């Protein structure tokens, strides 16, 4: 069955998402859609200098896209922006690795559960949706600060 794709950790995050719901205050938000399936996500970031004070999100979509947003919230909230960028780069590398990349749990935490998704090209976009929105939102927040 789909165990390699639908890890228990993913189903847990899907059924009980962490940090879901758009919150105030925030510095920037980004809305991303997956045009092939209609999945949507809005990600808001609140920065406090170099710190990611909050990442909040709302959206609709499949278990992979929604669980991925929950993991993103858990991994990045409270850390630094540069750490967030490192984690994001590692997650993108894992997703684009066609199942050949060995994930580092110290960096990716629950994100390692998505390793199996990388073997399903049609689902990689689902997993990356919130991460791309997060990246956009941080870029916007930092651009506004300048």
Partner 1 sequence: MAEQMPSPLDVDRVRKDFPILERRLAGDRALVYLDSANTSQKPRPVLDALTEHYERHNANVARAVHQLGEEATSAYEGARDKIAAFIGAPTRSEVLFTKNASEALNLVANTMASGLAEDPRYRLEPGDEIVITEMEHHSNIVPWQLAARRTGATLRWFGLTEDGRLDIAGLRELINPRTKIVSLVHQSNILGTVNPVAHVVERAREVGALVLLDGAQSVPHMPVDVTELGVDLLAFTGHKLCGPTGIGVLWGRGEVLDGLPPFLGGGEMIETVAMDGSTFAPIPHKFEAGTPPIAQAVGLGAAVDYLTGLGMTSVREHDRAITAYALDRLHGVDGVSVIGPDSMVDRGATVSFTVDGIHPHDVGQVLDEQGVAVRVGHHCARPVCVRYGIPATTRASFYLYTTNAEIDALVDGIEQVKRFFG
Q: Name the residues that contact partner 1, by CB under 8 A.
A: 1-2, 5-6, 11, 36-40, 60-65, 120, 123, 126
Q: At 54, list the tokens.
A: 């909050």
Provide the minimum distance between the beta carbon of 2 and partner 1 in the complex, in angstroms, as a whole number. Answer: 5
**What three-state secondary structure class fits 24?**
coil
**Residue whose CB is less far from partner 1, 2 or 82:** 2
Provide the minimum distance between the beta carbon of 75 and partner 1 in the complex, in angstroms, as a whole number. Answer: 23
**DSSP string for 59-118:** EE--HHHHHHHHHHHHHHTTSBHHHHHHHHHHHHHHHTTTT-----HHHHGGGGGGGGGG
**Residue whose CB is less far from partner 1, 107 or 132:** 132
Provide the minimum distance between the beta carbon of 5 and partner 1 in the complex, in angstroms, as a whole number. Answer: 7
């Amino acid at each position: 069955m789909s165990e390699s794709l639908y890890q228990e950790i993913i189903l847990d995050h899907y059924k009980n998402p962490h940090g879901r719901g758009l919150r105030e205050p925030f510095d920037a938000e980004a809305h991303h859609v997956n045009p092939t399936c209609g999945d949507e996500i809005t990600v808001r970031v609140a920065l406090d200098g170099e710190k990611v004070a909050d990442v909040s999100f709302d959206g609709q979509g499949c278990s992979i896209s929604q669980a991925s947003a929950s993991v993103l919230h858990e991994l990045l909230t409270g850390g630094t922006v540069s750490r967030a960028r490192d984690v994001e780069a590692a997650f993108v590398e894992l997703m684009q690795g066609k199942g050949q990349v060995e994930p580092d749990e110290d960096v990716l935490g629950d994100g390692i559960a998505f390793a199996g998704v990388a073997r399903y090209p049609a689902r990689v976009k689902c997993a990356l949706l919130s991460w791309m929105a997060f990246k956009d939102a941080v870029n916007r927040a930092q651009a506004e600060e300048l």
